[in-house]
Amino acid sequence: MKIGFIGCGNMGSAMISGILKKGIFQKDEIIVSNLTEEGSKRSREKLGVVTTLDNRQVVKNAKTIILAVKPQFYQEVIEEVRADLTPEHMVIGIAPGKSLDWIQEICQTSLKVARLMPNTPAQVGEGMTGVCRNELVTDDDLEQVLKITDSFGKTQVVPERLMDAVGAVSGCSPAYVFIFIEAMADAAVAQGMPRKQAYQFAAQSVLGSARMVLETGMHPGELKDMVCSPAGTTIEGVRTLEKAGFRSAVFEALQACADKGKKM
Ligand SMILES: NC(=O)C1=CN([C@@H]2O[C@H](COP(=O)(O)OP(=O)(O)OC[C@H]3O[C@@H](n4cnc5c(N)ncnc54)[C@H](OP(=O)(O)O)[C@@H]3O)[C@@H](O)[C@H]2O)C=CC1
Ligand SMILES: O=C(O)[C@@H]1CCC=N1
């Protein structure tokens, strides 16, 4: 077994979907644990990976361990498996607020520890992941980690102090983008467009706009200006969004998200 996931819910399975699609690991090289038999069955049926209800089996069978449980369960799962951890293991946290030092301290042994902040678009190979590591993670180890994260999207290595910002701008932001798409589709439905078609128009517009930012390298404001014809329709919508505090709402949402990460 090459890689183990303790917990395999929304984020774990999104990462594994990407890994399997790119063929970085085969199904029989991935072991995952769940809390319930129902979760185990879901992981087997959806992903076809090796499953167990025993977290210690994950640590005994893989050297790279991803902690994909909710942050409130981090301490209990680490305490459960720490006797089986060896210097060859690398423990990777993906939860907001669980620092490299904190993970190391709960493990009670000097260990390779890394943190990832992935996001659910990993499921379709379009994830964005921030990575940081402690001093025991070698450049070779990091290369292995990047090979994994690059398999389900893009990755950037960041200093740990930026992990809360990463959590806000990419870890959590898909939720805000989905709300935006849903709201745009609702408006199109109100104009008479069938709902399914409205999701296609709204989602493709978000996808295309994101690609323009990434591929042209142009400033988002300049790209926005290119859409706003003088005395046209778009600028009326811009005025309405500004009046409703759209920018400020987004700013405050990401700030709240990062602040919460710092407290966890
Ligand atoms: N969702 C997201 O967009 C992102 C999440 N994260 C982080 O990823 C982590 C997982 O989140 P997410 O996938 O959304 O959560 P989910 O609730 O979807 O999945 C949690 C998983 O943990 C399992 N589990 C719970 N307790 C235990 C235990 N004691 N031993 C073994 N497995 C256990 C559950 O098993 P069962 O299925 O049996 O209940 C489930 O498979 C969190 O730390 C979160 O902060 C990071 C970035 C983005
Ligand atoms: O909501 C959360 O806390 C997790 C972390 C990033 C995205 N989801």
The answer to whether the CB of 148 is under 6 A from ligand 2 is: no
**Rounded Cα gap, residues 122 and 130, in angstroms:** 13
Domains 3-158 and 166-263 share a fold: no
> 96 CB under 6 A from ligand 2?
yes
CB 52 within 8 A of CB 76: no
- Average pLDDT of the segment spanning 74-85: 97
Interval 116-142 mean pLDDT = 96
Q: Domain extents for the chain? A: 3-158, 166-263
Residue nearest to atom 7 of ligand 2 (CA): 172
- Look at residue 1 and tell me whether its pLDDT is greater than 90: no
Query: Starting at the edge strand that comes first in sequence, how are the strands of the sheet with 30-33 ordered?
Result: 50-52, 30-33, 3-6, 64-67, 90-93, 112-117, 127-133, 153-157
Q: Distance between CA 48 and CA 44 in Å, rounded?
A: 4
Q: Which ligand is nearest to the CA of 152?
A: 1
Q: Which CATH architecture has domain 3-158?
A: 3-Layer(aba) Sandwich (3.40)
Distance 237 CA to ligand 2 centre (A): 31
- The DSSP output letter for 170 is I
Task: Assess contact for 132 and 115: CB atoms under 8 A.
Answer: yes
For residue range 204-223, list pLDDT tens digits in order.
999 999 999 999 999 999 99
Measured in whole angstroms, the distance separating CA 58 from the mean position of its chain's CA atoms is 21
Instruction: State if residue 130 touches ligand 2 by the CB under 6 angstroms criterion.
Output: no
Determine the straight-line distance between the first and last CA of the chain, rounded to whole angstroms. Answer: 32
Rounded to whole angstroms, the Cα distance separating 243 from 128 reads: 31
- Ligand 1 pocket, Cβ-based, cut-off 6 angstroms: 6-12, 33-36, 39, 55, 68-71, 73, 77, 94-96, 117-120, 171
CATH fold of the domain at 166-263: ProC C-terminal domain-like fold (1.10.3730)
Q: φ, ψ for residue 6 (rounded to 5)?
A: -90, 105
Distance 5 CA to ligand 1 centre (A): 10
Residue of minimum CA distance from atom 8 in ligand 2: 172
Q: What is the pTM for the complete model shown?
A: 0.95
Element holding 122 (H helix, E strand): none
pLDDT band at 196 (very low <50, low <70, confident <90, very high): very high
Find out whether 95 and 117 touch, Cβ atoms under 8 Å. Answer: no
pLDDT at 237: 98
